[in-house]
């Protein structure tokens, strides 16, 4: 009987720990999404700020980078 109670208590403890981890992961994810969107829902800002535009431009430059040296133009390999 005591072993059964210990097993049930351990199972309950594991379930509580799992729920706590899931809640923490959901909270961190929501904070990350809010930060990524800029959190501008309450401020009424319709367009991204200059910092966001600069980051978007830098990401686009990285995405478009073809591996050529900086001085070379695309199509000048020959």
Domain locations in the chain?
1-35
pLDDT (0 to 100) of residue 1: 76
- Entry pTM: 0.45
What's 47's DSSP letter?
Answer: S
What is the pLDDT of the chain when averaged over all its residues? 81
The CA distance from 76 to 66, in Å, is 12
Residue 13 has pLDDT above 80, yes or no: yes
- Tell me the HSE value of 29 on the side-chain side, using a 13 A CA sphere: 6
pLDDT (0 to 100) of residue 46: 58
The CA distance from 15 to 21, in Å, is 10
Task: Out of 23-27, 40-44, 57-61, pick the least confident.
Answer: 40-44
Residue 40 has pLDDT above 70, yes or no: no
The CA distance from 71 to 29, in Å, is 41
């Amino acid at each position: 009987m005591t072993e059964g109670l210990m097993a049930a208590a351990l199972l309950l403890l594991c379930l509580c720990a799992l729920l706590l981890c899931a809640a923490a992961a959901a909270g961190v994810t929501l904070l990350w999404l809010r930060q990524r969107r800029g959190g501008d829902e309450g401020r009424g800002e319709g367009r991204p700020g200059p910092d966001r535009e600069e980051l978007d431009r830098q990401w686009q430059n990285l995405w478009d980078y073809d591996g050529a040296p900086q001085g070379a133009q695309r199509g000048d390999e020959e």
